[in-house]
Amino acid sequence: MNVIPVILAGGAGTRLWPLSRESKPKQFHNLSGRGTLLEETIKRMLPIAPERIVIVTSKKYEGLSMDELDKVGMPGTILSEPRPRNTAVALLYAAIYLDSIFDDSIMVSLPADHHIRNTDEFTRILREAVAQAGRDRLVTIGIKPTYPETGYGYIKAMDGSGDVLPIDTFVEKPDIDRARRYYESGKYFWNSGIFAWKTSLILKEFGALMPAHVSAFQPLAGFSPDEIASSEGRPWELKTRIFDSVETVSIDYGIMERADNRVVIKGDFGWTDLGSWKSIDEILPPDENGNRSPKQDRTVFLNSKNCSAFTENSRISLVGLSDVVVVEAGNEILVIHKDASQDVKKIAEIRRR
């Protein structure tokens, strides 16, 4: 059975403003010095020998997305969304497209903005996820927590042995007291947002649990694969009406929280969700004073500790500072304390007014 990665790459990434901005979001930036986030995500899929890769994104990022596929030399399709409607809608769209090509396939869905240190272990877990999906299970990968994090959703597993466990429940982002209890119990995992399932099975679940969305997308069923993927003419006009009409729903809430036969696979492969400037510390090696930059030839740290600097065009010098992030991108400069990383989204909203 064909294995098809579906990469979700439509987010604006406002918590990494000003480098990540509407014209070029974070997934198209090289934050690690080893390639853009989307390029690295595509490369991590190659060991499972996909027949092709599908990228779901905004129409304005079609060209940028295809450039990343071309870098890797991987055949693929860009499915453009007329407007963002969260992960359930994006994955229903992708499933309908794949159903028009294959008798059946296994979809591996994942975001484009994660960093993974141990790619060999990730590949092992991914192959297990594909195998479990082939047994008609809805599969997700849960990350073994390394500390009590309040910024992630959690998955509670049922009691059992081994790496594959039935899912008890999905839990929204907790406060710090609950996060500590989750961490100490050993039964909870961070929700990675990585899933695997048969296309036929997920379409069946959509029909049972999100029938209004399936009904809205039904007109696409009469189109050819090329028409479903088109961002022009009548197919695009139809998709625009569909996306205007459907409710915004996450795949967790719409399907995974209510479906049967769900399993979580334990993952411990150095996973980081790159959702803030502070989180970027996880992917860049520090100097002897804990300072980091992907462009060290254009950055000077003097009498500074635990600072980070990111630049698109200019040289940056930090003197006598601690725990500070400096970002230069476009016509903007951001200077923040690392503990204020989650407030960057507010600044991005202010600057758009």
pLDDT tens, residue by residue, 162-213: 899 999 999 988 999 999 999 998 889 999 999 999 999 999 999 999 999 9
- The two three-digit tokens of residue 272, written as one number: 């980081």
Q: Per residue in 225-254, pLDDT tens?
A: 999 999 999 999 999 999 999 999 999 999
Angle in degrees, 0-180, between the axes of helices 37-45 and 119-133, rounded to the nearest 10: 60
What integer pLDDT is reported at residue 191 of this predicted model?
A: 94
Q: Where are the beta strands (DSSP E) in the chain?
A: 2-8, 53-58, 76-81, 105-111, 114-116, 138-143, 154-157, 164-171, 188-198, 262-267, 271-273, 299-302, 308-311, 316-319, 324-329, 332-337
Question: Which superfamily does 2-273 belong to?
Answer: Spore Coat Polysaccharide Biosynthesis Protein SpsA; Chain A (3.90.550.10)
Nearest Cα neighbor of 64 from 45, 41, 90, 36 is 36
Where residue 333 falls among pLDDT bands split at 50, 70, 90?
Answer: very high
Question: pLDDT band for position 346 (50/70/90)?
Answer: confident
Residue 290 region, left (φ>0) first, then alpha (ψ -120 to 50), else beta?
Answer: left
Could you tell me the residue ranges of all domains in the chain? 2-273, 278-352
Report, as an integer, the average pLDDT of 15-30: 87
Question: Which is nearest to 325 in space by CA: 346, 340, 303?
Answer: 340
The helix/strand count (H/E) of the chain reads as 11, 16
> The whole model's pTM is what?
0.92
pLDDT digits (tens, 9 = 90+) for 141-169: 999 998 888 888 999 999 888 899 999 99
Q: What is the pLDDT of residue 350?
A: 81
- Total residues belonging to the chain: 353
Residue 58 contacts residue 82 (beta carbons within 8 Å): no
Q: Output 18 or 53, whichever has higher pLDDT.
A: 53
Q: What is the pLDDT of residue 33?
A: 78
Q: Are 318 and 326 contacting, i.e. CB atoms less than 8 angstroms apart? A: yes
DSSP conformation class of 251? H
SS3 for 67? Answer: helix
pLDDT at 247: 96
Contact (CB, 8 A) for 105 and 98: yes
User: Using one digit for the tens of pLDDT, what is the confidence trace for 23-79?
Assistant: 889 899 888 878 899 999 999 999 999 999 999 999 999 999 999 999 999 999 999
Q: Does the pLDDT value for residue 351 go beyond 80?
A: no
CA angle, 40 as apex, 37 and 45 as ends, to 5°? 130
CB of 13 closer than 8 Å to CB of 327: no
Would you say residue 93 has pLDDT above 90?
Answer: yes
Q: pLDDT tier at 307 (50, 70, 90 boundaries)?
A: very high
Angle at 349 between CA 344 and CA 352, to 5 degrees: 125
Residue 353 has pLDDT above 80, yes or no: no
